[in-house]
């Protein structure tokens, strides 16, 4: 049995959820004194419908299919804005490339990352959520989020590796 690489409560965001995410983003833009633009909308929509952990370069490639005029810097800055308002979060795996995943209407989840091939699997853990809250209470913090990643070697890479002789 193969485990899913990504776990979501919903297969895709509804039109209503996309509109809500746009409202959150536009409110954030107004709050920080930036304009609402068609390019930022295109980046947000492309990002929200993509279920992968995307680097800035990968998102830029996808966005350029919609609008050739959208530059790399615009995508980079928009991703930072999405992270600021909670619609995205940065994830860093073993390769040093910062990737982003959307967070709108998603439960907190964690990652297992293969140090050989870079593949990742998402998982939920109520125990980790409980520990976050306990540590927050102990140190008088209101916790808002956390990241948790486990590194190892995936099943496929384990079968590729030659067995060591003893």
- Cβ neighbours of 18 (radius 10 Å): 16
- 18-22, 27-31, 148-152: which has the minimum mean pLDDT? 148-152
143 pLDDT band, cuts 50/70/90, is confident
Q: How many angstroms separate the CA atoms of 63 and 82, rounded?
A: 15
Q: What is the pLDDT of residue 98?
A: 84
Beta bridge partners of 120: 113
Given a contact cutoff of 8 angstroms between Cβ atoms, the answer to whether 99 and 54 are in contact is yes
3-class state of residue 54 by DSSP:
strand
Burial class (CB in 10 A: 0-12, 13-18, 19+), 107: exposed
Q: Is the pLDDT assigned to residue 16 strictly greater than 50? A: yes
Q: Residue 52 has what pLDDT?
A: 77
pLDDT value of residue 99: 83
pTM of the model: 0.69
The two three-digit tokens of residue 105, written as one number:
């209407």
Q: Residue 121: beta bridge partners?
A: 112
CA dist 42 and 30 (Å) reads 18
Residue 105: pLDDT band with limits 50, 70, 90: low
Average per-residue pLDDT for the chain: 84
Sequence ranges of the domains in the chain: 10-104, 107-166
Same CATH topology for 10-104 and 107-166: the answer is: no
The pLDDT tens digits of the residues spanning 44-61 come to 999 988 877 889 999 999
On the question of pLDDT at 103 being above 70, the answer is: yes
Please check the confidence at residue 14 and state whether its pLDDT lies above 90. no
Going by C-alpha positions, the residue among 119, 93, 91 that lies closest to residue 106 is 91
Average the pLDDT over 82-99 and give the result: 82
CATH of 107-166, one of 3.30.1490.190, 1.10.10.10, 3.30.540.10, 3.40.50.2300: 3.30.1490.190
Contact between 59 and 100 under an 8 Å Cβ cutoff? The reply is: yes
Q: Quick one: average pLDDT of 89-94?
A: 75
| Class level of CATH domain 10-104 | mainly alpha
Mean local confidence (pLDDT), 81-89: 89
């Amino acid at each position: 049995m193969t485990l899913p690489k990504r776990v979501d409560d919903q297969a895709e965001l509804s039109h209503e959820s996309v509109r809500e995410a746009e409202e959150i983003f536009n409110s954030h833009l107004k709050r920080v004194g930036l304009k609402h633009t068609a390019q930022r909308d295109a980046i947000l929509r492309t990002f929200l419908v993509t279920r992968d952990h995307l680097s800035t370069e990968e998102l830029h490639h996808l966005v350029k299919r919609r609008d050739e005029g959208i530059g790399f810097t615009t995508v980079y800055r928009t991703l930072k804005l999405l992270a600021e308002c909670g619609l995205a979060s940065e994830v860093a795996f073993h390769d040093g490339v910062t990737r982003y995943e959307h967070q709108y209407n998603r439960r907190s989840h964690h990652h297992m990352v293969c140090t050989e091939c870079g593949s990742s699997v998402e998982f939920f853990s109520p125990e980790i959520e409980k520990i976050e809250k306990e540590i927050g209470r102990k140190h008088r913090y209101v916790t808002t989020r956390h990241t948790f990643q486990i590194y190892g070697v995936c099943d496929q890479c384990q079968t590729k590796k030659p067995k060591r002789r003893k």
